[in-house]
């Protein structure tokens, strides 16, 4: 069994991850450590980190531990790990050996404590919970038991695995630790898009917006930019972590908050439905820099380092078209269009959009700044070669969210690692994004095929039905 402290003096912690967006959980926690300026070691584990809910970490201090769990949207809680064992005897022996100098401050007479018993993969009976607590009678707690406001909470945590068809009688492993803090999942409801002042068809849901802001290491006094800002969900989540925020969108209606409402009980958007009001709703207006009507295909900024992070959800062409200014044959804005709110637009292929986005990030991010964006993928096409690359940007993480059997989107996180030079440019080695609406066409084709199959199934069903019915003669 590993020692409670490693040679550097760091303590062991147990992170209990939420069973949600499994692939995103470890990259989220690694990015948070960076955002709060903490070092962190993820200990080797026998488990598959992508699917398993328990991860052992080593952290330099409890303060760092609190900061990290206090930002996570994909974690349930963090414990200071006192011991773990595959059997009750093994766990009890480890706890007996736990150094007194580490346990004593939490066991003193003038403190209060309580136990919390929980399990992954099984619902425990009250009897089982009581037995687990009783079995720890040998621990020399001197303080008062306080079930409501204890100073120290100790978790007994059993792991029955994630296969509901093979739940074992006894847990695979039991953990014991001191509670440090809970993740921030309770905030997901507060920030829910349903309760948001200004929303649109493609507003990003609150949980993923927070995960994106975490991946971008958004933090106090940094500047975060969204070039496809829409209703500003990513500005809200980044501002929640203290970043100053700004964005652009090609659609003047969305920037001004004009036009038809997407709420079912309202026809037109109200007076104050705009991004600034969204930030105000959460007390974050002081972090609003501005939003501009602008085409992401043509940067309004001189090439200089402006942003600590670019966090964005570009249009894939499925629910909204991807467009840029100009006409089919040339890339220029017509002079007589300059005064219009709605100048001539033309198709913007995903291939151009993605390479523009990476070039933009390479030019405008500070060194170590992050680009976080969604890449739509037709799953049968996927290989690492379709990931857009840039000599100034290093891939940090690439997590898949499956949307249907054949379509997914990947949350890509990149870090700027090199100063931009004019000769540097983005490329996609194997490029499935060249056609306009490349993903939309595949998506629609799949939907059509699915409908066709369903119709055929229904036809076969109705054709066979009459013969099943008894005829008048019979």
Place of tokens 């687990």: 132
Closest by alpha carbon to 214, among 177, 248, 243, 254? Answer: 243
User: What are 87-91's contacts with CB under 8 Å, separation 24+?
Assistant: 87/170, 88/135, 88/174, 90/1, 91/174, 91/176
**Burial class, 214, CB count within 10 angstroms (exposed 0-12 / middle 13-18 / buried 19+):** buried
Q: Output the CA torsion 289→293→297→301 (10° steps).
A: -40
Residue 14 Cβ vs ligand SAM, minimum distance, rounded to whole Å: 34
Q: Quick one: 249 or 415, whose CB is closer to ligand SAM?
A: 249
Closest by alpha carbon to 71, among 195, 187, 231, 203? Answer: 187
Q: Quick one: 184 or 312, whose CB is closer to ligand SAM?
A: 312
Q: Quick one: 254 or 387, whose CB is closer to ligand SAM?
A: 254
> How many whole angstroms separate alpha carbon 220 and alpha carbon 215?
15
Rg (the chain; Cα; Å) = 27
Residue 248 Cβ vs ligand SAM, minimum distance, rounded to whole Å: 6
Residue 393 Cβ vs ligand SAM, minimum distance, rounded to whole Å: 20
Q: Quick one: 62 or 337, whose CB is closer to ligand SAM?
A: 337
Q: Quick one: 27 or 200, whose CB is closer to ligand SAM?
A: 200
Q: Quick one: 171 or 227, whose CB is closer to ligand SAM?
A: 227
Q: Give the residues lining the site for ligand SAM (CB under 6 A).
A: 200, 202-204, 227-228, 230-231, 233-234, 248-251, 254, 295-297, 313, 315, 320, 322-324, 348
Q: How far is CA 129 from CA 200, 223, 255, 357, in A?
A: 47, 48, 54, 53
Q: Quick one: 18 or 347, whose CB is closer to ligand SAM?
A: 347
Residue 255 Cβ vs ligand SAM, minimum distance, rounded to whole Å: 9
Q: Quick one: 20 or 320, whose CB is closer to ligand SAM?
A: 320
Handedness of CA 63, 66, 72, 77 (dihedral sign): positive
Answer yes or no: are the C-beta atoms of 376 and 341 closer than 8 Å: no
The token pair that represents 22 in the structure block:
């499994």
Q: Quick one: 113 or 228, whose CB is closer to ligand SAM?
A: 228
Residue 10 Cβ vs ligand SAM, minimum distance, rounded to whole Å: 38
Residue 252 Cβ vs ligand SAM, minimum distance, rounded to whole Å: 10
Residue 465 Cβ vs ligand SAM, minimum distance, rounded to whole Å: 44
Residue 374 Cβ vs ligand SAM, minimum distance, rounded to whole Å: 8
The token pair that represents 161 in the structure block:
């695995």
Closest by alpha carbon to 49, among 73, 69, 29, 63? Answer: 29
Closest CB to ligand SAM belongs to which residue?
230
Residue 428 Cβ vs ligand SAM, minimum distance, rounded to whole Å: 18
Residue 213 Cβ vs ligand SAM, minimum distance, rounded to whole Å: 12
> 176-196 burial, b if ≥16 CB within 10 A, otherwise e?
bbbbbbebbbebbeebeeeeb
Collapsed DSSP state (helix, strand, coil) of residue 68: helix
Backbone angles phi, psi at 250, to 5 degrees: -75, -20
Q: Quick one: 177 or 200, whose CB is closer to ligand SAM?
A: 200
Q: Quick one: 132 or 361, whose CB is closer to ligand SAM?
A: 361
User: What are 93-98's contacts with CB under 8 Å, separation 24+?
Assistant: 94/1, 95/136, 95/139, 95/176, 96/138, 98/4
Residue 6 Cβ vs ligand SAM, minimum distance, rounded to whole Å: 41
């Amino acid at each position: 069994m590993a020692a409670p402290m490693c040679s550097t003096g760091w303590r062991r912690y147990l992170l209990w991850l939420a069973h949600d967006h499994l692939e995103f959980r470890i990259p989220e926690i690694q990015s948070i450590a960076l955002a709060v300026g903490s070092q962190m070691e993820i200990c080797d584990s026998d488990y598959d980190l992508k699917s398993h809910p328990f991860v052992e970490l080593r952290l330099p201090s409890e303060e760092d531990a609190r900061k990290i769990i206090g930002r996570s949207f994909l974690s349930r809680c963090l414990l200071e790990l006192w011991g773990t064992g595959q059997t009750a005897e093994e766990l009890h022996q480890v706890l007996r050996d736990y150094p007194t100098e580490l346990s004593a401050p939490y066991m003193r007479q003038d403190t209060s404590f309580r136990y919390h018993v929980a399990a992954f993969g099984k619902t425990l009976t009250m009897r089982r919970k009581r037995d687990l607590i009783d079995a720890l009678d040998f621990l020399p707690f001197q303080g008062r038991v306080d079930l409501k406001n204890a100073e120290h909470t100790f978790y007994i945590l059993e792991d029955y695995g994630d296969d509901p068809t093979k739940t074992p009688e006894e847990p695979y492993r039991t953990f014991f630790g001191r509670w440090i803090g809970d993740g921030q999942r309770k905030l997901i409801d507060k920030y829910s898009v349903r309760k948001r002042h200004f929303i649109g068809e493609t507003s990003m849901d609150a949980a993923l917006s927070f995960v994106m802001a975490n991946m971008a290491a958004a933090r106090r006094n940094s500047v975060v930019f969204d070039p496809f800002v829409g209703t500003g969900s990513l500005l809200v989540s980044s501002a929640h972590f203290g970043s100053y925020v700004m964005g652009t969108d090609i659609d003047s209606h969305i920037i001004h908050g004009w036009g038809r409402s997407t709420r079912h009980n309202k026809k037109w958007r109200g007076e104050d439905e705009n991004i600034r009001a969204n930030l105000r709703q959460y007390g974050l207006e002081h972090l609003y820099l501005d939003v501009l009507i602008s085409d992401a295909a043509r940067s309004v900024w001189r090439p200089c380092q402006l942003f600590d992070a670019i966090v964005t959800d570009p249009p894939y062409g499925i629910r909204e078209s991807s467009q840029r200014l100009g006409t089919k044959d040339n890339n220029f804005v017509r002079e007589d269009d300059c005064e219009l709110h709605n100048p001539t637009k033309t198709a913007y292929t995903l291939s151009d959009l993605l390479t523009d986005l990476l070039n933009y990030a390479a030019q405008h991010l500070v060194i170590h700044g992050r680009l976080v964006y969604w890449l739509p993928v037709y799953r049968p096409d996927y290989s690492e070669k379709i990931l857009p690359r840039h000599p100034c940007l290093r891939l940090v993480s690439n997590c898949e969210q499956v949307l249907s059997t054949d379509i997914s989107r990947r949350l890509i996180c990149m870090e700027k690692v090199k100063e931009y030079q004019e000769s540097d440019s983005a490329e996609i080695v194997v490029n499935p994004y060249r056609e306009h609406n490349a993903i939309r066409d595949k998506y629609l084709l799949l939907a059509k095929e699915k409908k066709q199959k369903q119709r055929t199934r229904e036809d076969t069903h109705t054709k066979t039905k009459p013969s099943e019915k008894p005829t008048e003669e019979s």
